[in-house]
Homo-oligomer: A and B are copies of this chain.
């Protein structure tokens, strides 16, 4: 179950057993509920099992910026437990199921199995690499490129997580939330999606997105998937 964690880096059998044996509790959250709030101390770390979650910050004036989107298999918030306080809110985007694990048992497993510590470090580095790409996306790409880029990312990550099939995937969020991830207003997200449809790059049906022309979408989004480091999963 929580073994998906192990996919992130090469581990031996013993380590996998150790991960599987971690003391955990399966918890469920309804859409919109918070798993962690900024500034809070929180001894539990979560591994997402089903559904989508997002991490976000609120800036002065009340605007929200989503700083990460999470799919099943992702580790949610080592940060909070390991650094004492969390700097971000973690919220259920859809209804979700997660395995809650006490930091202590993770720490213990880490010191017993160096390969596991190594895997967690890699996981953290990958999520850092994704953050960097987001900075570039939000900082230097126009709305069309930016939107296309996030669609590519969601598509590839969902495919890697076994959630997407033949060019279709679920956009787990409202256009307002998408705007919060892209640093755009919901109105502008709507217009931009419309343009991507008109340009023949995607089709849309509710929140299900069908990719009409993957190559063109990648080009439009300036998307090169290397930063996701998905190969290292093998």
- The answer to the question of A135 belonging to the interface, with a C-beta cut-off of 8 Å to chain B, is yes
Contact assessment for B118 and A107 in the assembled complex, using a CB-CB cutoff below 8 Å: yes
Known: A79-B128, A125-B79, A226-B85. A59 touches B107 (CB 8 A): no
Q: Please provide the chain A residues from 111 to 141 with a CB less than 8 Å away from any CB of chain B in the complex.
A: 111, 114-115, 117-118, 120-122, 124-129, 131-136, 138-141
The secondary structure that dominates the A interface is helix
Please name the residue on chain B nearest to A121 by beta carbon.
B121
- The answer to the question of A67 belonging to the interface, with a C-beta cut-off of 8 Å to chain B, is yes
Number of A residues with CB within 8 Å of any CB on chain B: 53
Excluding A79-B128, A83-B126, A121-B121, 9 further A-B contacts by CB distance (< 8 Å) are: A63-B140, A65-B140, A79-B129, A82-B122, A87-B129, A88-B129, A124-B125, A134-B135, A135-B138
Q: Interface on A for B, CB 8 Å cutoff?
A: 39, 55, 57, 59-60, 63-65, 67-68, 78-79, 82-85, 87-88, 107, 110-111, 114-115, 117-118, 120-122, 124-129, 131-136, 138-141, 145, 182-183, 222, 226-227, 229, 231-232
